[in-house]
A = this chain, B = another copy of it.
């Protein structure tokens, strides 16, 4: 049984996908009986060096050749404008689509999935989240019997690499970023990664699958790691916490929380041990309990592995199934996204090293019903963190669970206290990431 595949965009992932299909098509046929026939690969530049030579007869400059000569169109150009019109055009012409374009699906998925549904066509997007980790399939099919309550994800390898260097090698953010760029883990313009957008796109997609509702991307709370101070990474370590850029999706009463921000998790928890460029997603369902999926979250080959698993899944349906039976379905009505998070907080203030400071701060916290779990001894902090020529010392407070709104108000009041120097640092703490 033959299926014709065409690829638009022969960059890193596109080249990896071509390589995989050339090398493993026979293995896939043996496993599934499906014959994947790569018909055309479109790119605007066939001169640039690639890991493998794409056979001349497959090359084209015209994406319409790909659409015309394939049953499944693989979109690997990335970005939004052209990728979107390409996908809509492919659907318009009755072609199924496989894409790794997390940004497009998170921001404009509604329109694309709606169009696919109208046409009775499939959109495969395993490669959009977690690189080679089959997380979309696990969430949609493997855990289908569960009511999903929580998703914790380390979904961006670049930021996880930077945070690992900060934690393990005491590098500050800018040096860790430089190193990541030197190693090719970070783009020249790293903002999509380090400002949390990439993680946000991915958790938005996972949330739509988990909760079966349209999740408006603009409502996702996003905070990156650009302004992180090494001092907080190390003070947190002292307290038994590891700092991660965590993507969080939680079912709360009636609504959900979808957020990405630097988060302290307990250093003994499984997610805390996910280091360097690795990704991991922890899912908690009402029957399965906690499961974790771990692997390389990016890269040419792992992503190609996911692209081709989508191709095979769609091919099976096209070849053997009478009708659409599990197209990604959600209620169009957007789900309410809560903003008043309820979590523990790590707060650091720079304060003069004199009495009365803690009293003032804790009074304000008390006014907002925020109770203090622990305070990091100033003496201890000093040794570790007093910096050259600084007249102040850090005061670190770990709170019990509190509401975001109260915390924000409390911080505003505390900043008005004469004893506080500069901006307080606030980092949320999650204790269930094991």
Q: Is the CB of A287 within 8 A of B316?
A: no
- Given contacts A320-B323, A322-B320, is CB(A144)–CB(B292) below 8 Å? no
Q: Which residues of chain A (141-171) have a CB below 8 Å from chain B? A: 141-147
Stretch at the interface among A25-33, A224-232, A256-264, A332-340: A25-33
Nearest residue (CB) in B for A311 is: B145
Number of identical protomers: 2
A122 CB to closest chain B CB (Å) equals 13
From B20, B285, B323, give the contact of A287 (CB < 8 A). B20
Provide the bound-state CA to CA distance between A134 and B141, in Å.
9
Provide the bound-state CA to CA distance between A32 and B291, in Å.
22
A329 within 8 A of B: yes
A296 within 8 A of B: yes
Q: Is the CB of A141 within 8 A of B321?
A: no
Provide the bound-state CA to CA distance between A226 and B292, in Å.
30
A354 within 8 A of B: no
A302 within 8 A of B: yes
From B137, B293, B325, give the contact of A141 (CB < 8 A). B137
A322 CB to closest chain B CB (Å) equals 5
Q: Mark A388-417, 1 if CB is under 8 A from B, else 0.
A: 000000000000000000000000000000
Residues of B within 8 A of A104 (CB): none
Q: Mark A296-310, 1 if CB is under 8 A from B, else 0.
A: 100101101110110
Residues of B within 8 A of A143 (CB): 134, 305, 309
- Given contacts A287-B24, A305-B287, is CB(A325)–CB(B329) below 8 Å? no
Q: Is the CB of B287 within 8 A of A30?
A: no
From B137, B141, B299, give the contact of A312 (CB < 8 A). B141
A290 within 8 A of B: yes
Residues of B within 8 A of A320 (CB): 321-323, 325
Residues of B within 8 A of A432 (CB): none
Residues of B within 8 A of A64 (CB): none
Residues of B within 8 A of A146 (CB): 24, 27, 305
- Given contacts A31-B329, A296-B288, A304-B287, is CB(A134)–CB(B145) below 8 Å? no
A270 within 8 A of B: yes
Q: Is the CB of B273 within 8 A of A212?
A: no
From B16, B144, B288, give the contact of A32 (CB < 8 A). B144
A319 within 8 A of B: yes
Q: Which residues of chain A (316-363) have a CB below 8 Å from chain B? A: 316-317, 319-323, 325-326, 329
A92 within 8 A of B: no
A418 within 8 A of B: no
Q: Is the CB of B329 within 8 A of A286?
A: no
Residues of B within 8 A of A142 (CB): 126, 134, 137-138, 306, 309
Provide the bound-state CA to CA distance between A322 and B323, in Å.
9
Best-buried of A24, A33, A134, A312 by chain B (most CB within 10 Å) = A134
- Given contacts A138-B138, A320-B323, is CB(A144)–CB(B288) below 8 Å? no
Provide the bound-state CA to CA distance between A302 and B295, in Å.
22
Q: Is the CB of A147 within 8 A of B24?
A: yes
Provide the bound-state CA to CA distance between A322 and B213, in Å.
30
Q: Report A's interface with B, CB cutoff 8 A.
A: 16, 20, 23-24, 27-28, 30-33, 126, 132-134, 137-138, 140-147, 212, 270, 273, 285-296, 299, 301-302, 304-306, 308-309, 312-313, 316-317, 319-323, 325-326, 329
The 8 closest A-B pairs by CB, nearest first: A134-B142, A291-B295, A145-B308, A132-B288, A320-B325, A292-B294, A288-B305, A321-B321
